[in-house]
Structure 1
Amino acid sequence: MEKMKMIIVALFLATGLNASAQDKQKNPFGLVYGDAIRENIKGQVNIIPVTYKLDGIEIAANVYTPANYDPSKLYPTVVVAHPNGGVKEQTAGLYAQRLAEHGYLTIAADAAYQGASGGEPRHTDKPAHRIDDIYGMADYITQYAGADANNLGVLGICGGGGYTLKAAQSDKRFKAVATLSMFNSGEVRRNGFKNAQLNTIQQRLKDASDARAEEASGSEISYAGVASVTDEEIAKTPAGLYQDGFQYYYRTHAHPNSTFLYTKSSLMDLMAWDAKSNLDLIEQPLLMITGSEADTKYMTDEAFPLVTNSKYKEHYLIEGASHIETYWVPEYVDQAVAKLTEFYESYLK
């Protein structure tokens, strides 16, 4: 599996979609999650596609307005950061929609260099950019009609959760901070999943440095990761995060803008970064949600004790859930949303 994860590709390969996923693309907003909005109806939760500039790059986002939205009123507001390889039309959109159903004004955006957002080279995946994406969503949504800038929360899912921990350290506009199935991208890119690649750190850093040198010379960009996956490869992948992730991202909830490719040179930044650093800077209330059966739970277990100055913190377990199941399984999503709304209601007025 590790070998497959780190395949170096020279060209961007089209993501394979099965018939079910292609059917889901008929959603007029491109949403691929269950019970997604299909049309904007007066008096109900609506979705508003928007674009804005962030450091000169055009960002594509969806704003979700609560039922009976009145732009002259103020609504507690939540920024939602998507997983690694994900896009706003998948689980980030699901949680943004569900929170809007509970009265929140929400936004989910594609990261710069990814999805429908601009930026070159494509699939650049650097922590500084992902953190700035979160700042940028806050910049935009707090200027949106109806947004209560004084009651702004943030939710980061998977890799977006790790970046949310970092964003919240310095951005005190966020009054309540939550993560779901947090994934520490730097730790995993450096050490391997479950620390399985400790013996190759220096070689992989050299490979990343060489890739940057090639980019600087004008050579073709090298990519790491996975652009597509066959049914046979999925079947051979060990049960857990990556097998479930392949099923989610390439089969049941596939979206053409979603891919696990990233520029190999991005590893120079990723491998030197860690979501666990400086967590004592988080003073805001913090909720970290994980599935009890998630093989990524160890990352939240590592980070949670390091948050020493939060006014309130809680690690909430969804019993029986794996990492990917928190993205879409209705009973687990219901539990997560119930906990999130309880948390936000306590700290966002």
Structure 2
Amino acid sequence: MVMATVVSASLAGGAVADDYRKNPFTLTYQGAITENIKGKVNIHPVTYQLHGIKIVANIYTPPNYDPTKKYPVVVVAHPNGGVKEQVAGLYAQRLAELDYITIAADAAYQGGSGGEPRYVDKPANRIEDIHGMADYISQYAGADTDRIGLLGICGGGGYSIKAAQTDKRFKAVATLSMFDSGLVRRNGYMDSQLDTIQQRLKQATDARAQEAAGGNVIYVGGDNKLTKNQIASLPFELYRQGMEYYQYTHAHPNSSSKYTMSSLLDLMRFDAASNMDLINQPLLMMAGSKADSLYMTEKAFKGATGTKNKELYLIPDATHIETYWVPKYVDQAVDKLIQFYGKNL
């Protein structure tokens, strides 16, 4: 049975996602906030400037939030192509339910945030987005700046470990289903494109030259919705389940898998797992035991020699994308996060 069928059957048997069109905050995940109620977790859409670009974010405050008190904080970085209304929002809300102030923002040039041309996807920008979330939330009423944690999901996980290598405001660092965008853009997923590296670098170089000359921006990927049969024929489980998640079960109009081809000049020389010895903070890296992306988490974790407080936690039977939404896997990840942040923040 192909995974497309499995996911659709799960939806038929019981809702696992919310329709963004029916949510006033356009949230897509199951159990999402639909209104702010006194005494409950509340959501606060905010905007701020980061190097002249407008960033849109959601801040979640705990039940019975009192701005005169101090709360631990968690910054949540979303996956590649994702937006704050999807899995990043789910984990931000779940942590807020357990007395954390949390923030999830759309990356610059992506989602609802500003920046032109659209869908620039450069590692330096994504890392700066994480620093920027820390800047903003540090000024928020009730935020304890001595207790700031970081959670990076998928591509956001790769960028989070880079941010935490130098930004010591983050006192505890966690990743979920970490994805090394540089490694994959360079070598292909599971090293499937090693023989085309130079060809793709030439295409990226030509794309940048065309942009510099005032020509059209060239994109990799696109927004064309794949059929279920097309999804089933994709070569890797991450891509099959990812397309189901982003195009069907948890779709959001601001979410897009495309990026500027010229971004590959930056992406292909990036390595999330380099300089891991600079992380001296407590480190938790979580992944599904059946995730075909697990090799990236294992590589980064092995290099984290600068901290003695580190743990690799495998969620039994979960795949990469299933950690985004399957309730039993999300529950396990949240439980582990609460133990980790509770001990280290």
TM-score range, shorter chain: over 0.9
Flag the 1:299–1:103 CA change in 2: closer, same or farther, 3 A.
same
- How far off is 1:321 after superposition? 0.2
3-state SS of 1:266 partner: helix
Q: Deviations over 1:201-228 (max 9, x none)?
A: 1111111010000000111100002322
3-state SS, counterpart of residue 258 of structure 2 = strand
Aligned amino acid, residue 75 of structure 2: V
1:216 aligns with 2:239: no
RMSD between superposed Cα atoms in Å: 1.1
Q: Normalized against structure 2, the TM-score is what? A: 0.94
- The answer to whether the 8 Å contact 2:29/2:325 transfers is yes
- SS of the residue aligned with 1:53? strand
Structure 2, unaligned runs of 5 or more: 1-15
- Deviations 1:76-135 (Å, cap 9, x if unpaired)? 000000000000000000000000001000000000000000000000000000000000
In the alignment, is the contact (CA less than 8 A) between 2:18 and 2:29 conserved in 1? no
The aligned counterpart of 1:162 is 158
Match of 2:177 in 1: 181
Runs of 4 or more consecutive aligned structure 1 residues displaced over 4 Å after TM superposition: none
Question: How far apart, CA to CA, are the structure 1 residues paired with 2:234 and 2:178?
Answer: 22
Asked if 1:240 is matched to 2:237, the reply is yes
Match of 2:322 among 325, 329, 341: 325
Name the structure 1 match of 2:22.
26
Partner of 1:299, secondary structure, is: helix
Q: Which amino acid aligns with 1:116?
A: G
Q: What letter matches 2:195 in structure 1?
A: N
Corresponding position of 2:56: 60
CA shift in 2, pair 1:233/1:275, >3 Å: same
Gaps (5+ residues) in structure 1?
A: 1-19
Aligned residue pairs total: 329
Q: Which amino acid aligns with 2:62?
A: P
Asked if the contact 2:18–2:30 (Cα under 8 Å) also holds between the matched residues in 1, the reply is: no
1:264 maps onto 2:261 in alignment: yes
| 2:301 alignment partner, one of 282, 304, 329 | 304
Look up the equivalent residue of 2:319 and give its one-letter code: S
| Structure 2 SS opposite 1:25 | helix
User: Contact 1:81–1:156 at 8 Å: present in 2 too?
Assistant: yes
Q: How does 1:18-97 map to 2 (within 5 A)?
A: 23-97=19-93
Please say if residues 21 and 254 of structure 1, whose CA atoms lie closer than 8 Å, have aligned partners that are also in contact.
no
* Residue pair 1:115, 1:258 contacting (<8 A) in 2 also: yes
CA distance in 1 between partners of 2:71 and 2:162 (Å): 25
Whether the 8 Å CA contact 2:19–2:28 is kept in 1: the answer is no
CA distance in 2, matches of 1:296, 1:103: 31
**1:178 Cα deviation after fit:** 0.2
| 1:146 matched to 2:142 | yes
Aligned 8 A contact 1:43 1:67 in 2: yes
Provide, for residues 264-314 of structure 1, a one-character-per-residue CA deviation record: whole Å limited to 9, x for no partner: 000000000000111100000000000000000000111111000114000
